[in-house]
Structure 1
Amino acid sequence: MNETKLTRQSLVNISTKGFVYVFALFLYLISWFCLWNISQYFLTDFILSALFLPSGLKLAAHVLSARHFLPLYTLGEMGLIAFLIFLLDEPGSTLILLFFSVVGHTLSIAFRNIWKDLDVYWVRIVALCYLVFFYSTICGISLILLSKPLGWEVSYALSGAVSALTGGILLVPFFYLLYDYVFRHAWQPLSPVLINQGVVLRPSAIVWCMFFFCVGMFAELVLLEDMKPQALLIFMLPNIFMAYRYGWQGAVLASVMNSILLATAKHLSGPFDTVLELQSFIFTQAVIGLGLGIGISRQYQLSHKLQIVNKNLQKELKSKNLLAQQLVHLEEGIRKSLARELHDEIGQNITAIQIQSMLAKRLALTPDAKKVAITINDMAMRIHSSTRQLLNQLRPQILDEMGIEEAIRQLVDEMGFKERDISFRLTFGIQEEKLDEVVAVTLYRITQELLNNICKHSGATRVYLTLLPGSQFVLELKDNGIGLPENWRSKGHGLKGVEERIQALGGNISIHSNKNGSQITVKLPIRLNENDQN
């Protein structure tokens, strides 16, 4: 029973494979015969017709088909050629086509070893063009070598090479386009979701081809007799447009469409003096379109990759900026916590030491004891003063007590602007209740550093400070001093640290300085305070 099932299954497999082989051979031979008939309309010569469009089919089929079909194609083609020679009573010289069939088979097998390692589309297309060139060169050289024994002219050998080259350049990319669309696209399996979805067609390429076909027919019927150069230029426009719009795929479609138009033009008006001239024009427009298409497709691909890289870089930059902002917030939180601890713990202890030293001074019985009490009190005062300075560096208490506007005005008074005869004007338009705590501290520290630089280095007599809201908080400081030195980044002036802190918060700083003064503009992002967020 099992043997019967295995035998039946083997027969089914053999019959299935046999049908596939027969169908593939039939499809190849009928396509070869149709293309040969079309070529016969152009060239009327049996050999040249077989070298024209059938060459493109042969090379494409031998490269793109499965390897086990290749001997079948070659033997079938040779049998068809022999049958046509016998049927049409062609001379024996046409048997050279059998040699060309073997050449195409051998060349394609060697080419497939290179082809399998190529993954990039434009490299594959260029490689196919090289295959066509080598095949047409071999055909031309063979015809030249046989021209003297068979009484052919050298121009005939040239026509054979041009026929193979033109047919290959025209059809091999076209068949590769079909192959790429059918076999290299990822097709989604049919599912209930896809069944219920409408079919979305994108026929724009076909619509454009039809439009240019109509334009080409108009050029043939109206312009071709009187304005041949202009008509031929119109024939080139579809290649350029389709290559620009759809890349190499559009260029291939336009080349095939133009070839049909040129064949029609030959039938209607005969714009070309010789068939060689027609083939040359077909080859030229196909190569130009294909070259433009490959270049534009390559540019689109590189542009797409660049967009992906830029998007990834933007994500990475955004992530790093967010991390830097979190670090700044964390730093300010630690500063605030440390300042609170210093104020609550150390401040109270220092105050207690001062009180105890004053009591010890009053109760001292000897001058030495009184002197020690005074020394302890002085040391406590110095520690208290140092602690206040440290607290101010960690967390300016004046911001919590008076707000940033009054803190800036008091900062100006402490720096002695009036004593230095420096005129100071503050324009403050920020609502402090909408000001984020970290941004407020940052604005204060920036202002402190910039005003300190003006006092020490600028020699200015007028200073204008403006803080305004908007899409970002804007701090603008102007003075009429001597400006910043050219190497201020390397010398310091505290601006480098200010710049880094601003960038960490996602802001930016611009500095314009000359001998007549400086203008510094700082922009920081708006952040709602915790109360608003809650």
Structure 2
Amino acid sequence: MRVNALSRFAGPLFALLYAAAWILLWPTEQPYWVLPFGLRFGALLLMRTRNWFWILGAEILASAFCEWRSGLPIGGAGFVLGDAPEPLMVAACLWLLRRAHLHASLNTPEDVARLLLSAMVTATVATAGNAAMMASLHPAAPVEMLGTTFGSDLLGNYLGVLLVVPVMILMFRERPTQSALAELLLDGLLVMLPSLAILVTLAEYSPQPQFARVLSLAPVLFFAFRHGWRGAGLAMLITSVGLNVTEDMIGRGAPTAAAHLFLAVAGTGTLMLGAATDALRRSSERVAQQNTHLAAANQRLDQLARQLRDAARGNLQAEEDLRKHMAAELHDELGQNLTAIQTHLKLAQQRLGNAGLDDIGQSINGILGHMRRALHKMLDSLRPSVLDEFGLLRALDEGPVRDMLTAAGIHYVTDLRGEPRLLDDETLTAIYRVVQESATNVVRHSGAKELKLRLRIGLRDSGPVAILDIRDDGTGLPATPRPIRTDGGGRGLQGMSDRITALGGIFRIHPEPIGLHLRVLLRSTSIGTHIGNFPIPGR
């Protein structure tokens, strides 16, 4: 009910407020400085079209009242042809411009340019209409006088829009926040009032008062940079009103057309500058928000990556523990059973010979030997026992890797330096597995004659580091990737890469004209459990 009542009386209420504002601004009208035109333009721009009738009616009544108070004659034809057409022409222009998507906004330089261009078009149409009406009422008026009047009214109407409309948009459409308003008021007290006092003093006592007009641009620029278009609009209105009132009080007369033209050009530029400053500030805030969101997203991604690495490391450790358990079970159960069978067979060898079954005993011995070799190979693939017996460096230099390469006729060159006890068990196993898989690939696929292995282990600021470099002179990578092995062995290069990545390391493949070059970087998460109190090489 209350909302309906307010909407019902909104038109008359706006009309009363508009008439009061028009009566207050009507005495300030000067050549080249017409604030009531800006009031009309801003009201029609901000109001809904259904309330325009109240605005136009209030303006016509307020104009008649002001002319009556001033003692001007009010004739029917003169009033109708002199005062009534201009509001109607402005309303018609704004109706067309609003249908062309003109809106009351100064947030961007494009909005400012669109609004000021619309103001120029509207002022031109209204001024041309007034000139036509004047020519019809005074046919004997000289053409020079009509041209001078046209230029004076056009500049004054544009300045009225430039000075009044930004303040109206600030008050009724895009009000600042409380903090921004507090900063604006504080700067007004600390900057605008002293600046205005200096400008008024220069305008009154300087032998060249036009300098005050030029210097008035300084506080306007300050407010444009600091508070955007809102500060620029308020500063322009305050300085312009202050200087005009001062010059009127000291009896110097109205400023020249050149002074007002400077104000129009400078005001247009500072309003564009203020809008650009606001747009840049909003863009910076959006960039800062995006950076904050990106930083949070990167933090979540890093956390997820750490969780994935920890999970992969846990899976790898669980796999190694399972391999170790299976190797121990096979060694204890199957190995002992094979030994028991061989022992019983050796004890029964004489009785088999007496029965003429020597060939059966030899065949069983051959089968048991083959089973023992297969078991040894299986145990080595599950858990390289040589790593526990010899340590990493001896296992790489003298263990099964060298035996396999020597049996294949491949020259094996090693360059191993550092202290393996700096590394944890997972890193040691990963290094051996990568070398073992690389050697297997070289024997099976590359046709190489030489394999070079280079290993460096040492301490860095981030902790223990191992750098592994493997090169061969074989055929290199195939044109199409080989299928993943299903015979119980590794998974080739992909398996090596997955193992190193799970430990947070770096695995790089460098194809060369001859052979293949692998580089691996591993950082141990902790110093090995078997490290003692001894000098650390390379520390």
Q: TM-score, normalised by structure 1?
A: 0.67
In the aligned structure 1, how far is the partner of 2:510 from the partner of 2:339? 53
The equivalent of 2:147 in structure 1 is 154
Larger RCO, structure (CA 8 Å, separation 6 or more):
2
The equivalent of 1:283 in structure 2 is 267
In the aligned structure 2, how far is the partner of 1:129 from the partner of 1:448? 78
In the aligned structure 1, how far is the partner of 2:509 from the partner of 2:222? 49
Query: Which segments of 5 or more consecutive residues in structure 1 lack a partner in the other structure?
Result: 1-9, 186-198
Residues 306-331 of structure 1: CA deviation (Å, up to 9, x unaligned): 32552464256336524532541353
How many Å apart are 1:387 and its aligned residue?
Answer: 1.3
Task: Tell me, yes or no, if the aligned pair for 1:408 and 1:444 is still in contact at 8 Å.
Answer: no
The equivalent of 1:256 in structure 2 is 234
In the aligned structure 2, how far is the partner of 1:522 from the partner of 1:153? 88
Q: 1:505 to 1:390 in 2, by over 3 A?
A: closer
Task: Tell me, yes or no, if the aligned pair for 1:239 and 1:288 is still in contact at 8 Å.
Answer: no
How many Å apart are 1:139 and its aligned residue?
Answer: 2.3
The equivalent of 1:28 in structure 2 is 18
In the aligned structure 2, how far is the partner of 1:57 from the partner of 1:219? 26
Task: Tell me, yes or no, if the aligned pair for 2:41 and 2:161 is still in contact at 8 Å.
Answer: yes
How many Å apart are 1:297 and its aligned residue?
Answer: 3.6
Task: Tell me, yes or no, if the aligned pair for 2:412 and 2:450 is still in contact at 8 Å.
Answer: no
Whether 1:203 and 2:203 are equivalent positions in the alignment is no
Matching residue within 311, 314, 335 for 2:319: 335
Secondary structure of the structure 2 residue equivalent to 1:274: helix
Task: Tell me, yes or no, if the aligned pair for 1:507 and 1:522 is still in contact at 8 Å.
Answer: yes
Identity value in percent:
15
Alignment root-mean-square deviation, CA: 5.5
Matching residue within 163, 179, 182 for 2:156: 163
What amino acid sits opposite 2:19 in the alignment?
Answer: L
In the aligned structure 2, how far is the partner of 1:454 from the partner of 1:155? 98
Task: Tell me, yes or no, if the aligned pair for 2:465 and 2:522 is still in contact at 8 Å.
Answer: yes
Q: 1:444 to 1:18 in 2, by over 3 A?
A: same
In the aligned structure 1, how far is the partner of 2:135 from the partner of 2:271? 32
The equivalent of 2:283 in structure 1 is 299
Whether 1:83 and 2:65 are equivalent positions in the alignment is yes
What amino acid sits opposite 1:407 in the alignment?
Answer: L
Alignment of 1:108-123 (within 5 A): 108-109=94-95, 121-122=107-108
How many Å apart are 1:76 and its aligned residue?
Answer: 1.0
Secondary structure of the structure 1 residue equivalent to 2:84: helix
The equivalent of 1:138 in structure 2 is 125
Task: Tell me, yes or no, if the aligned pair for 2:45 and 2:103 is still in contact at 8 Å.
Answer: no
Q: 1:476 to 1:238 in 2, by over 3 A?
A: farther
The equivalent of 1:37 in structure 2 is 27
Residues 83-131 of structure 1: CA deviation (Å, up to 9, x unaligned): 3344432683795543332344445455556769999954766654454
Task: Tell me, yes or no, if the aligned pair for 2:46 and 2:104 is still in contact at 8 Å.
Answer: no
How many Å apart are 1:339 and its aligned residue?
Answer: 1.0
In the aligned structure 2, how far is the partner of 1:429 from the partner of 1:348? 28
Task: Tell me, yes or no, if the aligned pair for 1:357 and 1:376 is still in contact at 8 Å.
Answer: no
Task: Tell me, yes or no, if the aligned pair for 1:255 and 1:285 is still in contact at 8 Å.
Answer: no
What amino acid sits opposite 1:102 in the alignment?
Answer: L
In the aligned structure 1, how far is the partner of 2:504 from the partner of 2:214? 55
How many Å apart are 1:332 and its aligned residue?
Answer: 0.9
Secondary structure of the structure 2 residue equivalent to 1:153: helix
Secondary structure of the structure 1 residue equivalent to 2:38: helix
How many Å apart are 1:384 and its aligned residue?
Answer: 1.4
The equivalent of 1:64 in structure 2 is 46
Higher helix share: 1
The equivalent of 2:380 in structure 1 is 389
Secondary structure of the structure 2 residue equivalent to 1:468: strand
Residues 320-365 of structure 1: CA deviation (Å, up to 9, x unaligned): 5245325413531442354145324444453145225414642352
Q: 1:211 to 1:168 in 2, by over 3 A?
A: same
Q: 1:328 to 1:357 in 2, by over 3 A?
A: same
Residues 221-276 of structure 1: CA deviation (Å, up to 9, x unaligned): 46995899997776445555544444xxx332133213422444454598865354
Q: 1:407 to 1:32 in 2, by over 3 A?
A: farther
Whether 1:98 and 2:76 are equivalent positions in the alignment is no
Secondary structure of the structure 1 residue equivalent to 2:416: strand
How many Å apart are 1:58 and its aligned residue?
Answer: 3.1
Secondary structure of the structure 1 residue equivalent to 2:418: strand
In the aligned structure 1, how far is the partner of 2:528 from the partner of 2:153? 83
Alignment of 1:176-215 (within 5 A): 176-182=169-175, 203-213=182-192, 214-215=194-195
Q: 1:115 to 1:374 in 2, by over 3 A?
A: same
What amino acid sits opposite 2:87 in the alignment?
Answer: S
In the aligned structure 1, how far is the partner of 2:481 from the partner of 2:209? 74
In the aligned structure 2, how far is the partner of 1:489 from the partner of 1:263? 82
Q: Which protein has the larger Cα radius of gyration, Structure 1 or Structure 2?
A: 2
Which deviates further from its counterpart, 167-176 or 120-129? 120-129
Matching residue within 314, 319, 328 for 2:298: 314
Task: Tell me, yes or no, if the aligned pair for 1:169 and 1:286 is still in contact at 8 Å.
Answer: no
What amino acid sits opposite 1:35 in the alignment?
Answer: L
In the aligned structure 2, how far is the partner of 1:90 from the partner of 1:378? 133
